[in-house]
Amino acid sequence: MANATASTRPARSPRRNSSLGDRVFDILNYVFLTLLMVVTLYPFLNTLAVSLNAASDSIKGGIHLWPRQFSSENYKFVFNEATIYNATLISVLRTVIGTLVTVFASAMVAYTISRQEYVLRKLVTIAFIITMYINGGLIPNYLLIRDLGLINSFWVYILPGIIGVFNLIIIRSFIEQLPESVIESARIDGAGDFRTFINIVFPLCLPVLATVALFTAVYQWNSWFDVFLYNSSNVKLSTLQYELQKILQNSNTTSSAETAFANSSAGAAVKVSPLSIRATMTIVAAVPMIVVYPFLQKYFVKGMTVGGVKG
Amino acid sequence: MAAALAVSMAACSSGNNGGNASPAASGGSSSAPASASASSSAAPSEKPLDKITVTFFNGVAGEKDLNTNETTIGKMLEDQTGVNFKIEHLVGDLNTKIGTMIASDQYPDVMIPDAAIEEVLKAGAFIPLDDLIEQYGPNIKRVYGPYFERMRADYGGKIYFLPFGPQVGEYAADPNINQGAFWVQRRVLKEAGYPKIKTLDEYVKLVEDFVAKHKDENLTGMLTLTHDWRFFATSNPPMHLAGFPNDGNVMVDIATNEAKTYAGSENEKRWLKTLNDLNGKNLFDKASFVDNYDQYIAKLTSHKVVGFFDYGWQIGNAMNVLKDAARKDQTQDDFVYFPLPVTFDGTHDQYLDPPGWTSNRGAGITKSAKDPARIIQYWDALLTDENQVLKSWGVKGETYEIDDKGRFYRTAEQIAKLDDAFNEKFGFKTYDWDWPQYGTSSTLADGNALAPGFQPEVFQMSLTEGDKTILGKYGVQTYAQMFDKPEDRPWFPAWSIPKEQGSPQQIWETKKDDLLKKYYAKLVLAKPADFDGVWADYMKEFGKLDTAGYEKWYTEQIKKVVEVAK
Amino acid sequence: MDNNDTLSAPQLAAKPRPAGLKLFMKKLVSQRMLVLMSVPFVIWLFIFKYVPVWGWTIAFQDYQPSLAFKEQQWVGFDHFRSLFSEDRFLISLRNTLAMSGINLVLGFVTAVSFALLLNEVRKVAFKRVVQTVSYLPHFISWVVAAGIIQTMLAPDGVVNELLKGFGMIEKGQEYLFLGKAEWFWGIFGASSVWKDVGWNTIVYLAAISSIDPAQYEAAEMDGAGRLRRMWYITLPGIKPVIIVLLIMNIGYLLESGFEPQYLLGNGMNAAYSENIDIFVLKYGLQQFNFPLATAAGMFKTVVSFILLFSANHIAKRLGQDRLF
């Protein structure tokens, strides 16, 4: 932060008289990024195409970017499942509540361990970091959750994950990057630590908090293992991902007992297959998270933090 | 009639005589309770029962979670018994789920622990059912009676759960091939003039000749399925080629009851050498060893694969796609696969499953259950002929008809109606397995097959012109008739003989699988000249496994089963 | 409120000496707000993360889930011995280290480079589109992704077709990519980058946003080109985050993931694809052998700590930012 040149124009305004080297760089950069985009877009488009293709045809393979036999049957199969609507609601709730709680709690603890003068700083930091690498194992964790009375409870989605150490450290690093002067000026105004945190640090951390929020939201949205372990017998607390897992298993219908009993006409048309349902559930589960991303992107704007400090 | 049967069965079943498996010793203790319970079984419809809901965990992933009374069949059974089951199916890893249940000592009322059954039993989670059956289970006794000794012998003298599928009445064969076979495209047989193919050499030659004649079509002679746990589709053929049914990892001599593994045997060498030769001639798809299941199925539908070995239940989706196409367009019939009973020497095949008894799978009542008697009564009610017809054929006039000779059949409209959604709503799906019930190959007292798919009238209706043509050329009415009749093997399937998790037997199997996966690719893809060298390496590593111990253990178990079955 | 000496400069807050217990207490009282803000979460941490560690005792028992703790049979280090006496375990250890090493280096280099390149894009719309698109594969589960990778790498897949198109191989010489054991690590690394480079970049983009734009302008006036600005301004700006993440991830070297190896693995490449987690699944969980799984977990923890503290120490010695 050595450079103190006052910023007189918008940060990103390009200089027109850029050098040849810069222009070559730009071109190469655009070409490279475009290529990268193609490569990373392919799996998603492929999955989308498979999800929109008739299952009986997808079995044959060879679907790439576009459905060969368009069909909405896969989506019907998924959305016909009455349970997924409540499950979506639960997923949204756990994502929103879980994210808010995590972001706030992580930021608060991160602030305390960024304070050099805090006597418990090292102790708290290490206590957290250690837990990244230890795990009591499946059964002790299960028994703990049971003894806490969290089986068959919504809070089992929130409480065990209040603070992710990774998030904590990222936020701490970010806070430590902030100019000390900002915090000091708050102190001079007579603010205590909590007020400093809420009024000064929290707003300045928005880019990193947006990152943490995204990580947490995606984690919460995609989780199903905790549903499986703790709440599987209570469909009211089931989440979208868990219901999608069920639907996927439901789509696999080739047991010999079943062909013998359930249907006499050998060779009934293949309506759904795990292949197609997997693709469909990928899209169904991913779209909400993909839609959220652009809203968070605005927090990643260059210079935003420091601008805030100066403003 | 059912009650009469039950009484007669009770004579050879027994009360609580501990681990003693001898039928002679157990005969005396029990004949009075049988008649008492036989009369109680007629009662349920008369006195109104309070309704209860029983939780039911099924460790097999698959169907939809539901309350049985949401289905037509389940509702009718609830009306009879007052019991509704709330079913939960496994979604994640079985051992994880069962492990947490055991550790917390909390169970659903009824459980199918599938592969984790040994652990559940060891934890004492299942209650013994002997007394309950004695008191409330005349039909259970009738249907399961012949197996009681075996069930007790397997698990320390008591009955802790009811396996699925006891044989009742005459053995009805599955007309379709849901089990193993060597498959070949129908056009290959057509072009060769429908020859009788009995030996592996004949089969390979058939495939080779066809590919040679169709050079420009870019055909694959054979491929195999190796993906993940489905690897057995590549490693099981030596057993079948030697003329044995699918007993898992062993071939059991029917005369001496000796169990021999075929991994590491001459049979296996011969099978792999055959694939190696095919590969040397560029007739084998090398990608077999890297393809996943979806890729494999895609290849089977591509018309490019001439032949392969697999189990019918594993290729259902591919077959359905091919058959659908053939139904719409006669010429596509060429690409439908036809099953052949191929063995090494061509004398005697045992591809068809004999009547089986999967002794290490079943449904039990846990110690958490509040009302075990009601559950047993429900199961007992389910085991009447009437309810067995209900759960597999459905309701007369709705899902099946009876002709003037008393034969069950289905009309074309009924068949068309029975799609997935209907089967689910009606309850066919819920009740097709996972309950105490007659075995699939059972026959009802009136001579009708229990399973509609096994009823000749229903099977015939499902055949296309192409099907009839090829079956006619071979002079058979069903695909099963292409194969030899299964011999009686009381231990079948041997893989279901209980093995503890983590036992030396199970570790042997895991290590053997790893070894096979490592070496099969090397052996098949080796230059033909190098085959013997790679085989020697393989044998060297194979020699490190305690195969003799494994075989000894298996032989002992099989002899025990045979002894009990006498 | 807690208007007090927390204002004091860092040197005053040096570690309390044992003799200074009183001083320590005094500080603790004066910093009660910080204590209030953090200690409840330490209690939470203790309950949810430390209490279950009693489960490590399972590794020393012939554990039966149905028995109470007192009834378990103790077997000492048997499970550890059986773990280390397995050749397969040692091979899987090697594979784990190799794959997570590759992932670590490749993951960092690609994510940081990608963040730097993105930062140089001036068209906001383009930048956002690239960012969003590169983030998409993260939402494709490994099952689906592995299916796509297997299809692309098949003998008739797009990669072989491309090689043929460029004349690098002839027809009939198609590679069986997933059958070449020694290529597996590379395929794994590339697949991981492909799936997660966009996702991994997010945290660096957040870090870049804290760099003072004035620095760029000054550099521009000094005539520094794009590469120089990336090197001298952006990279140092996100260095603290890079180092902290690097240290944390070094601690994770024994966690190379499970799904991609399991899904892309097959008999032909098992010697290179099977890692500790797969070993534990096969010989632990799938055999209902919880002690073996616990023993493997403890082993991983010990190694993690060694790696973590070493990395942190090295960072400290080099005068870099560190984790703690």
Structure tokens at C103: 């992932």
Question: What is the distance in angstroms between the Cα of B299 and the nearest Cα belonging to chain C?
Answer: 11
Give the whole-angstrom CA distance, residue B427 versus residue A158.
37
Q: How many CB pairs under 8 A join A and C?
A: 314
pLDDT at A253 (0 to 100): 56
**Average pLDDT of the segment spanning A133-141:** 90
The predicted pLDDT at position A18 comes to: 62
Do strands B337-340 and B161-162 pair parallel, antiparallel, or not at all (unpaired)?
A: unpaired
* One domain, residues C143 and C253: yes
C162 touches chain A (CB under 8 A): no
Tell me the domain boundaries of chain A.
82-250
Distance to chain A for C309, nearest Cα, Å: 11
If you write DSSP's letter for every residue of B87-145 in order, what string do you get? EEE--S-HHHHHHHHHHHT---SEEE-GGGHHHHHHTT-BPP-HHHHHHH-HHHHHHHG
Q: Is C303 inside a domain boundary?
A: yes
Class at the top of the CATH hierarchy for domain B54-169+361-460: alpha beta
Residues 6+ apart with CB under 8 A from A40: C133, C134, C136, C137, C194, C197, C198
pLDDT of A303: 52
Per CB-CB distance under 8 Å, the chain C contacts of B513 are none
**Does residue C146 fall inside a structural domain?**
yes
Which of 96-155 (A) contact B at CB < 8 A?
138-139, 142-143, 146
Output the six-digit token pair for C93. Answer: 């250890």
pLDDT tens digits along B484-497? 999 989 999 999 99
Identify whether C23 is part of a domain.
Answer: yes
Cα gap A107→A114, rounded to integer Å: 10
Give domain status of residue C111, yes or no.
Answer: yes
Q: Does the pLDDT at position A311 exceed 50?
A: no
Range among A106-110, B22-26, C157-161, C283-287 rated most confident: A106-110
User: Which pLDDT band holds residue C12 (cuts at 50, 70, 90)?
Assistant: very low
How far C242 CA lies from chain A's nearest CA (Å)?
Answer: 10
N-terminal to C-terminal alpha carbon distance within chain B: 26
Taking Cα atoms as reference points, which of A311, A58, C204, C82 lies closest to residue B317?
A: A58
Interchain proximity C267–B96, CB inside 8 Å: no
With pLDDT > 90 as the criterion, what percentage of chain B qualifies? 76
- Spatial neighbors of C44 by CB under 8 A, at least 6 apart, are A159, A162, A163
Look at A60-64, A185-189, B451-455 and tell me which has the smallest mean pLDDT. Answer: A185-189
pLDDT at B10: 35
Proportion of chain B above pLDDT 70, given as a percent? 92
Query: Based on the structure, what is the number of domains in chain C?
Result: 3
Residue C164 in domain: yes
Report the distance separating Cα B233 and Cα B347, nearest Å.
23
Q: Distance between CA B237 and CA B235 in Å, rounded?
A: 6
Q: What is the model's pLDDT at position C19?
A: 63
Tell me if A120 and C38 make a contact (CB, 8 A cut-off). Answer: yes
- Beta-bridge partner residues of B112: B58
B503 pLDDT exceeds 70?
Answer: yes
Dihedral sign from CA coordinates of B111, B117, B123, B127: positive
Q: For residue C60, is it within any domain?
A: yes
The whole-number pLDDT of residue B135 equals 95
Hey, is the C-beta of B410 within 8 angstroms of any chain A C-beta?
A: yes
Give dist(CA A32, CA A35) in Å, integer.
5
Residue A299 exposure: Cα atoms within 13 Å on the Cβ side: 21
Is the distance from CB of B318 to CB of B300 less than 8 angstroms? yes
pLDDT of residue B257: 95
Could you count the other beta carbons within 10 Å of the beta carbon of residue B471? Answer: 18
- Return contacts of B370-374, CB within 8 angstroms, 24+ apart: B370/B52, B370/B109, B371/B52, B371/B54, B371/B109, B372/B127, B372/B132, B373/B132, B373/B135, B373/B136, B374/B49, B374/B52, B374/B54, B374/B81, B374/B82, B374/B83
Say if CB C250 and CB C312 are below 8 A apart. Answer: no
DSSP state letters, B451-519:
SGGGSHHHHHHH--HHHHHHHHHTT-SSGGGGSPPPPP-TT-SGGGS---TTSHHHHHHHHHHHHHHHH
Q: Which chain C residues touch A2 with a CB distance below 8 Å? A: 215
pLDDT of residue A257: 46
pLDDT at B15 over 50: no
Instruction: Tell me how far apart the alpha carbons of residues C34 and C1 are, in angstroms, rounded to a whole number.
Output: 12
One-letter amino acid of A239? T
**A270 and chain B: CB distance < 8 Å anywhere?**
yes
Of residues B55, B320, B455, nearest to A268 (C-beta)? B320
**DSSP state for residue B199 in the 8-state scheme:** B
pLDDT of residue A259: 56
- pLDDT given for residue A256 in this prediction: 42
Phi, psi of C30 (to 5 degrees): -70, -25
Confidence of residue A17 (pLDDT cuts 50, 70, 90): low
Nearest neighbour of C324 by CB, restricted to A47, A111, A125: A125
Residue C23 near chain A (CB below 8 Å)? no
- Is pLDDT at A169 greater than 50 in this prediction? yes
pLDDT digits (tens, 9 = 90+) for B123-174: 999 999 999 999 999 999 999 999 999 899 888 899 999 999 899 999 888 8
Number of Cβ within a 10 Å radius of residue C311: 20
Task: Answer yes or no: are the C-beta atoms of B554 and B491 closer than 8 Å.
Answer: no
Type of residue at C106: L
The set of residues, in sequence order, having a beta carbon less than 8 Å from that of A103 and lying 6+ positions away, is A209, A212, A213, A216
Judge if C56 and C129 occupy the same domain: no
**Do residue C141 and residue C241 come from a single domain?**
yes
pLDDT mean over A24-51? 93
- Mean pLDDT, residues B93-99 taken together: 92
- B230-255 mean pLDDT: 96
Looking at beta carbons, which residues of chain C come within 8 Å of A169?
A: 244, 248, 323
Do the first three CATH levels of B54-169+361-460 and B180-351+499-565 match, i.e. the same topology? yes
Tens-digit pLDDT profile for residues B104-134: 999 999 999 999 999 999 999 999 999 999 9
- pLDDT (average), residues A101-126: 94
Query: What are the start-end ranges of the E strands in C138-279?
Result: none
pLDDT (tens digit, 9 = 90+) per residue, A258-276?
Answer: 555 544 444 455 678 889 9
A159-187 b/e with 16+ CB inside 10 Å = b?
Answer: bbbbbbbbbbbbbbbbbbbbeeebbeebb
pLDDT at B334: 96
Q: What band does A144 get if pLDDT is binned at 50, 70 and 90?
A: very high
Per-residue pLDDT reduced to its tens digit, C113-142:
999 999 988 888 999 899 999 999 999 999
Integer Cα distance of B26 and B22 in angstroms:
7
Q: Could you tell me if C301 and C56 are in contact, meaning their C-beta atoms sit under 8 angstroms apart?
A: no
Query: How many angstroms separate the CA atoms of C210 and C212, rounded?
Result: 6
- The answer to whether residue B442 scores a pLDDT higher than 90 is yes
DSSP secondary structure letters along A35-77: HHHHHHHHHHHHHHHHHTB-HHHHTT----SS-SSB--HHHHH
The domain defined by A82-250 carries CATH number 1.10.3720.10: yes
Asked if pLDDT for residue C278 goes beyond 70, the answer is yes
The residues pairing with B57 across neighbouring beta strands, listed in sequence order, are B88, B111
The residue range of the domain holding C69 is 42-76
- Whole-number Å distance between alpha carbons of C56 and C72: 13
> Is C287 among the domain residues?
yes
Q: Which residue of B lies nearest to C266 if distances are taken between CA atoms?
A: B290
Residue A8 has pLDDT above 50, yes or no: no
pLDDT band at C18 (very low <50, low <70, confident <90, very high): low
The pLDDT tens digits of the residues spanning C197-238 come to 999 999 999 888 888 888 888 888 888 888 888 999 999 989
Q: Which fold has domain B180-351+499-565?
A: D-Maltodextrin-Binding Protein; domain 2 (3.40.190)
Yes or no, beta carbons of A300 and C65 under 8 Å apart: no
Please determine, for residue B565, whether its predicted confidence score (pLDDT) is greater than 90: no
Residue C172: pLDDT band with limits 50, 70, 90? confident
If pLDDT is split at 50, 70 and 90, which confidence band does C15 have?
low
pLDDT value at C153 more than 80: yes
pLDDT band at A304 (very low <50, low <70, confident <90, very high): low
B24 membership: H or E segment, kind and range: helix B23-26
User: Looking at residue A260, what is its pLDDT?
Assistant: 59
Question: How high is the ipTM of this complex?
Answer: 0.86
Mean pLDDT, chain A, rounded, equals 85
- Whichever domain contains C284, its CATH number is 1.10.3720.10
Phi-psi region of B419 (alpha: psi -120 to 50; beta: other; left: phi over 0): beta
Token representation of residue C91: 């091979």
- Residue B48: pLDDT over 90: no
Peptide bond into B493 cis (omega under 30): yes
Residue C133 to residue C51: CA distance in whole angstroms: 42
- The number of C-beta contacts closer than 8 angstroms across A and B is 157
Amino acid at C119: N
pLDDT digits (tens, 9 = 90+) for B373-430: 999 999 999 999 999 999 999 999 999 999 999 999 999 888 888 887 888 899 998 9
Residue with tokens 């803000």: C37
Residue B290 has a pLDDT of 94
**pTM of the entire structure?**
0.88
Query: Residue B45 pLDDT > 60, yes or no?
Result: no
Residue at token pair 């690590």: C185
With contacts defined as CB-CB under 8 Å, which chain C residues touch B505?
none
pLDDT higher than threshold 90 for residue C274: yes
Residue C280 CB coordination number (10 Å): 23
pLDDT, residue C287, reads 85
Nearest to C178 among B125, B290, B507 (CB): B290
Same domain as C163, residue C178: yes
**Cβ contact A290–C52 (<8 Å):** no
Local confidence band at B32 (pLDDT 50, 70, 90 cut-offs): very low
Of B314, B419, B429, which is closest to A268 when you measure between CB atoms? B419
Q: How confident is the model at residue B63 (pLDDT cuts 50, 70, 90)?
A: confident
In a domain, residue C324? The reply is no
Beta strands in A118-269, from DSSP E residues, in sequence order = none
Residues of A in Cβ contact (< 8 Å) with C27: 119
Strand order in the sheet with B66-67: B66-67, B83-89, B52-58, B110-112, B363-365, B161-162
What does the alpha-carbon distance between residue A311 and residue B389 come to, in Å, rounded to a whole number?
81
pLDDT for C6 equals: 43
